[in-house]
Amino acid sequence: MTETTPSLPSLSPVSGKSLIARFDGGDMSSDGGLLALREIEARLGVAGRLAACLRDLRAPERIRHGVAEMLRFRLLMIAAAYEDGNDADSLRHDPVFKLANGRLPDDGALCSQPTLSRLENTPDTRALIRMSRAMVELYCDSFRTVPRCITLDIDDTFDAVHGGQQLRLFNAYHDDYGFQPIVVFDAAGRPVAAMLRPAKRPTGVELRCFLRRLVKEIRRHWPRVDILLRADSHYCAPEVLDFCRAARVDFIFGVAATKTLRRHVEALEVSIRQRQAAARSDDKLRRYKEFHDDAASWKRVERIIARIEAGPQGVDTRYIVTSLKGGSARSLYEGIYCRRGQAENHIKAWKRHLAADRTSCTRAAANQFRLMLHTGAYWLLWSLRSLMPKRSSWYVAQFDTLRLRLVKIATQVVSRKSRILLHMPSACPDRSVLRMALERLPRLTC
Cα gap 444→446, rounded to integer Å? 7
The arrangement of strands across the sheet holding 169-171 comes to 159-160, 176-179, 169-171
CA distances for 110 relative to 26, 74, 89, 115, angstroms: 18, 11, 9, 10
Give the CA angle between residues 165, 171, 176 to the nearest 5°.
65
Pairing of strands 250-255, 226-231: parallel
pLDDT of 1 above 70: no
pLDDT, one tens digit per residue, over 198-225 is 999 999 999 999 999 999 999 999 999 9
Beta carbons of 32 and 422 less than 8 angstroms apart: yes
Gap between the Cα atoms of 68 and 72, Å rounded: 6
What is the four-CA torsion angle of 314, 319, 324, 328, rounded to 10 degrees? 20
Q: Can you tell me the distance from the alpha carbon of 226 to that of 241, in angstroms, rounded to the nearest whole number?
A: 16
The yes-or-no verdict on residue 425 having pLDDT over 90 is yes
Cα 40 to Cα 36: distance, rounded to the nearest angstrom: 6
User: Coil, helix or strand for 144?
Assistant: coil
pLDDT digits (tens, 9 = 90+) for 83-113: 999 999 999 999 999 999 999 999 999 999 9
Rounded to an integer, what distance in angstroms lies between the CA atom of residue 156 and that of residue 259? 27
**Which residues, 6+ apart, have CB-to-CB distance to 285 below 8 Å?**
272, 275, 276, 279, 309, 310, 311
Asked if 265 and 234 count as a contact pair (C-beta separation under 8 A), the reply is no
Least confident of 126-140, 143-157, 375-389, 413-427: 413-427
**Residue 174: per-residue pLDDT:** 94
* CA 174 – CA 160 distance, rounded (Å): 9
**What does pLDDT average to over the chain?**
93
Instruction: Tell me the domain boundaries of the chain.
Output: 28-123+376-443
Cα 219–Cα 224–Cα 227 angle in degrees, nearest 5:
70
Using CA atoms, how far apart are residues 265 and 309, in angstroms rounded to an integer? Answer: 11
Burial of 143 (0-12, 13-18, 19+ CB in 10 A): middle
* Confidence band of 445 (pLDDT split at 50, 70, 90): confident
Q: How far is CA 383 from CA 78, 92, 135, 292, 406, in A?
A: 15, 25, 15, 42, 13
Quick one: pLDDT at residue 219?
A: 96
What's residue 22's pLDDT?
82
Confidence of residue 312 (pLDDT cuts 50, 70, 90): confident
- Cα–Cα nearest to 212, from 174, 251, 240, 181: 240
Q: Which residues, at least 6 apart from 195, have a Cβ–Cβ distance to it below 8 Å?
A: 132, 181, 182, 183, 210, 368, 371
Distance of CA 382 to the CA centre of its chain: 9
Distance CA 23, CA 98 (A): 19
Q: How far is CA 213 from CA 17, 124, 309, 368, in A?
A: 68, 18, 38, 17
pLDDT, residue 3, reads 54
Res. 426 pLDDT band, cuts 50 70 90: very high
| Predicted confidence (pLDDT) at residue 2 exceeds the cutoff of 60 | no
CA-based nearest residue to 324, from 332, 316, 315: 332
Closest CA to 110 of 125, 131, 95, 128: 95
Digit-coded pLDDT (tens) for 125-167: 999 999 999 999 999 999 999 999 999 999 999 999 999 999 9
Confidence of residue 4 (pLDDT cuts 50, 70, 90): low
**What's the CA gap between 368 and 346, in Å, rounded?**
19
